[in-house]
Copies of this chain bind each other. A is one copy, B any other.
């Protein structure tokens, strides 16, 4: 079962044996978490994995065509056309590394032909619906509460392929996609496909989207190699953190929609505030009371600032107080998130910050250190540090979801699994040619068969149903020297297939 989800090569071995997961996100209904799905990216292999939140198990992984460096992903919160569809139906995914299209060896020496694509997946089927070619490198994504817009912070607007080429421009962009327009363009046949992939790819390059009234994409210039874009819980703004600029940029979504309607001015005018918050702003989160909290990578601080005050200041008000509080945190903080901050129910209670360097905070365990995650109380005017927690290096991203949003199952029903060994009496060994199936049931502390015998060379499938009905009475099944080791939760059925290539006695035992 796991292999089917993970994907295999023609010889049955795993397609990929390593990955690089960064960002968890979760599905929405009515602008808040509905506890149905979470997703996370594999940047190394351009894959997106879905986790069922009723069991906290991965049930699907999709590898995206035409892209590399799958980084940020964001579920939508409402349908772009039909506002009655008030839950997540699509996911938008950014790709950080531009590659030739198709990436089959052509255009190696022509980096100007390399492309990044934004990808839209179906949240239920996990199939790719469409892609759209864009300029620059895509980092993290946000979606609007009205379902009409997805956006990402873009760096390398220079379209360079080497590190030094990517930091020339003083401004990069937050890039907005008009979802309904892209989907209409695809419907109208305005797309290409590349190589073996059948996924339609629309053209969202700046060059091809000069007229706002027909543009699929809007490029909003902001300073400089920005890192992270986040949606305010009131649905009004997206805020991008400046990274190489000491600023955050506040973008008014109503002005984006105006721009797409042909009623706007230059995209740069869509920026309604750009407060200086400190050195190395990376990510921003919210308390639902109008305040933003931004990590400062170089200052090793979290800065709390007032969004509406920043807008007033940007308009020229010199008396307004934008920055309300700063607190030192552990070193080189990256992602931060406040409780429910990525929903309309941001509650302003808790803030967690992940730090890339813990220095001497934890006992030394060799060259690779534990890193640190810090919990803050943000209910008052001043942020308060409450606790540290060691984290695997490097701690990346997380979301904080209220416990009542997550309703997990504790026990499976045996009938859910078509291959279940429903009765202990069904325990047996069946042979068809050299294919042997072993039907096993388990109830602590015993398996239903004391032994099974097969012939060397047989392809053996062991099907195991856990008949225990008590929460957490998970069984394990391992076979000595056969790299077989899996768990079966109460009521669940799992199977494994292997080749019996060694003669002798090999003990099976419960590994859990």
Contacts and interface: CB of A to CB of B under 8 A. Distances in A.
B485 A369 contact: no
Interface in A449-485: 450-451, 453, 456, 471-472, 474, 478-481, 483-485
A160 B486 CA distance: 26
A97 B359 CA distance: 45
B163 A446 contact: yes
A490 interface: yes
Nearest to A105: B503
A15 to B, nearest CB: 8
A69 B508 CA distance: 10
A406 interface: yes
A316 interface: no
B472 A45 contact: no
A489 interface: yes
Interface string A398-440: 0000010010111110000000000000000000000000000
A8 to B, nearest CB: 13
A237 interface: no
A474 B393 contact: yes
B505 A471 contact: no
Contacts of A97: 480, 507, 509
A108 interface: yes
Contacts of A308: none
B456 A105 contact: yes
A197 to B, nearest CB: 13
Interface stretch (A17-25, A75-83, A121-129, A283-291): A17-25
B480 A18 contact: no
Contacts of A480: 44-46, 68-69, 97
Interface in A145-185: 161-163
A260 B97 CA distance: 71
A380 interface: no
Given A19-B485, A20-B485, A69 B509 contact: yes
A445 B19 CA distance: 21
B481 A366 contact: no
B490 A451 contact: no
B504 A105 contact: yes
A86 interface: no
